[in-house]
Every structure is written in C-alpha cells, then in structure tokens.
Amino acid sequence: MNVLITGGAGYIGSHIALSLLQQNHHVLVLDNLCNSSPIALQRVEALSGKKLAFHQGDIRRRADLNRVFNSESIDAVIHMAGLKSVNESLQKPVKYYQNNIAGTLTLLETMKQHQVNKLIFSSSATVYGIPVKIPLCENCDAGNTTNPYGASKYMVEKILREVVDAQPELAITALRYFNPAGAHASGQIGEHPAGIPNNLLPYLFQVANGLRAALPVFGDDYATPDGTGVRDYIHVMDLAEGHIQALKNLQAGYRHYNLGTGQGYSVLEIVRMFEQVSGKRVPLDMRPRRPGDVAICLSDPSSAREELDWQATRGLEAMLRDAWRWQVLNPQGYVVQPVEGEV
C-alpha cells in the first residue's frame, strides 16, 4: 500500500514509518517539522534499508496537501500531525483548535478531492476526560474533556463520525492511545521533547542523565496502592504495530479502539523499575497533586485484541530499557553532528 503519514517525522509517526517500510509498504510523510527533525526520517531509512518520500509542509495549507496527493497515488492516510501539549493547549486554545481541527478538515477535503477513502486517526485516552469507570472501554462515556487538547481530539472523532455518515465510502478508524513510551530497540529513533518535559518518562530520563536535579512526583495521596498516579504505558513499537493491524482491518464506516496494555503502573513503580534497568538513582521531589490529573487511567484493550487481532507484547521493562538506550545514545535528541573541520 502507499501510505501517507501526516506528522510522520514525529515521535510516534517515525516508528510507524519504520514498521510500514519493514512490511514493504511505500511511505510518504508530510510534516511541517514544528516538533520534529528530518534526521528521524533519515534514520528510519537507514534502519529499514528503504526510501520514503518526505514532503515538508503543513496540513492546514491546501497547496501543501495537494502537492503530496498529486505526487503519487495514495491508498490510505495515517493522520498523526497535531499539537499535543495539554499545558500549552490551556494557554493557547485557538492554536490547538486551528492546528488539530482546522488541519484535519483541510485534510478531509483534500482526501475527498483525490478520492482517498482510508484514514487512521491518532486519538487519545484524554477523550475520556475524568474516568467514571476503570478500566476504560470504548463504550465508556467520552467527551467530558478537561483541556483544549483533549477537546480537539474528541471533536475530531465527532467530525469523523459525521463525515462517515455523509460519505459512506469512507473507512475510518480512530485509535485512542494510552501513555506512549519507549523507543525503537536500536536506540536510533525516540522521543526528545523541546524545553522542560511535562510527561513523566522524559523528565525522569533528564534527571537520570544529570540534566535536572530531581523528579517532581505530583501527589502521593491518591487512592492507589502507593498513593502515586497510575497509568497504562504502552511501548511505541506496540503502538506502531497497532496501526498496521488497524490498516489491515479497516472497514467502511467509523470505529475507534483503545491502544493500551490494560496494565497500570504507579509513578513510584516506574522509578523503581527504571533504577533497576539503568543502575541510576533518581532523586525524588514530592509535590502536591498536579491540577487536572486523575488517580488512575487504564485501558480495557480487549476490542483491539478481538477486532484488530492486536495486543501489546512489550512490558514496562522493555519500554524503560529501550527509551534509556535512546536517551544515552542521543542525549540532545536529533542534533546534527558538526562535520570535522566545520566551525
């Protein structure tokens, strides 16, 4: 298949690109590089031994989309392009709605114009808002979101459902990711957030490699076994394989699936396991709860197992080991190494 990945230079998109190439699909990437580096794609090509077609451009610009859709025939789109910081979305909601919603509308119009009917959309467990039931299954209430980022994902899901009602030729699957973590086992591609990390694992790694003094632990008084927040972390390669299965099993209509492991780990369990895996000690800084956080967020992944024939196979130890390898090999992320002799 010829598969276009919007946002394919990013953390998750680059791992999906690699999995697709390894399965002999042809990959096109459209990315404006606002949160990524083209070096990620060079490494994907080196790891797979195959070429992909990279187009730098913005999903909000129709000319950029047309350029890609006119370049070769496209069978399916995996739509990853978007902004993803919960904090930033609270400061800049318009930027988030503009990018995540308006961008998706332009993509949908372009797909219609070019008669491309298959779409996989990167959604998120944040669409569930404050969980009313644990574990979360796909028919649990969604939409009670707590920030513009989560709202943008929920609104796009709603738009996709409505568009499918009007265009029955469309086959759309939204995948609700739980907490993506880890890196490709080679240590060549991974996640490197700009600035001070908001998420647990990137912050933990920066403490372990000496960039930051201590890991803030946001709350130790939750109703969880050790009082710290519990999440369902999923290896990014499992996530990538989930997209391949979703693509294989696409059917006309709209569907959505949780992609998680169904297994929860607390902040302190993560820290302990990481210390074992890396041999590093992680100083902790106990803090009050972070506003907006929930005690537990955990998936019921059984629908994806039954309907997509997919389940996560990598555990927490592999996630931490692989992500730490990436971190040690690339402490500054994807920086261009100066060529000898250049200033």
Q: Interface with ligand UDP by CB under 6 A: which residues?
A: 179, 198-200, 203, 216-218, 229, 231, 267, 290, 293, 297
Give the DSSP H or E segment for 306.
helix 302-308
Q: Which of 26, 28, 36, 138: binder of ligand NAD (CB under 6 A)?
A: 36
Using CA atoms, how far apart are residues 273 and 205, in angstroms rounded to an integer? 13
Using CA atoms, how far apart are residues 204 and 187, in angstroms rounded to an integer? 17
Take residue 3 and report the two structure tokens written for it.
């598969």
Q: Which of 31, 241, 300, 322: binder of ligand NAD (CB under 6 A)?
A: 31
Angstrom distances, CA of residue 313 to CA of 236, 271, 305: 11, 21, 12
Terminal Cα distance for the chain, rounded? 44
Least gap, CB of 228 to ligand NAD (angstroms): 19
Q: If you search the block for the tokens 């297994």, which residue do you land on?
A: 263
Residue 12, binding choice from ligand UDP, ligand NAD, none, Cβ under 5 to 8 Å by partner class: ligand NAD
CB crowding 25-52: b at 16 or more within 10 Å, else e = bbbbbbbbeebbbebbbebbbebbebeb
Q: If you search the block for the tokens 């939750």, which residue do you land on?
A: 222
Q: Which of 4, 13, 183, 266: binder of ligand NAD (CB under 6 A)?
A: 13
Q: Which residue is nearest to ligand NAD (CB)?
A: 10
Least gap, CB of 175 to ligand UDP (angstroms): 16
Using CA atoms, how far apart are residues 78 and 320, in angstroms rounded to an integer? 26
Tell me the window of 18-26, 33-41, 277-285, 297-305 that interacts with ligand NAD (CB under 6 A).
33-41
Give the start-end residues of each E strand in 278-335. 284-287, 296-297
Q: Is 96 a catalytic residue?
A: no
In the complex with ligand NAD, the residue whose CB is nearer, 220 or 314, is 314
Q: Which of the residues 149, 177, 222, 265 is marked catalytic?
A: 149
Upstream peptide bond of 202 is cis (omega within 30 degrees of 0)? no
Least gap, CB of 164 to ligand UDP (angstroms): 28
Do the Cβ atoms of 3 and 247 come closer than 8 Å?
yes
78 binds ligand NAD per the rule CB under 6 A: no
In the complex with ligand UDP, the residue whose CB is nearer, 19 or 258, is 258
Least gap, CB of 221 to ligand NAD (angstroms): 25
In the complex with ligand UDP, the residue whose CB is nearer, 142 or 297, is 297
Q: Which of 17, 20, 77, 81: binder of ligand NAD (CB under 6 A)?
A: 81
Least gap, CB of 327 to ligand UDP (angstroms): 15
CA 218 to chain centre: 23
Give the DSSP H or E segment for 55.
strand 53-56
Q: Which residue is nearest to ligand UDP (CB)?
A: 229
In the complex with ligand NAD, the residue whose CB is nearer, 13 or 215, is 13
- DSSP designation for 283: -
Q: Which of 33, 90, 137, 282: binder of ligand NAD (CB under 6 A)?
A: 33
Interface with ligand NAD (CB under 6 A): 6-7, 9-13, 31-36, 58-60, 80-84, 99, 103, 122, 124, 177, 180
Residues designated as active site? 149
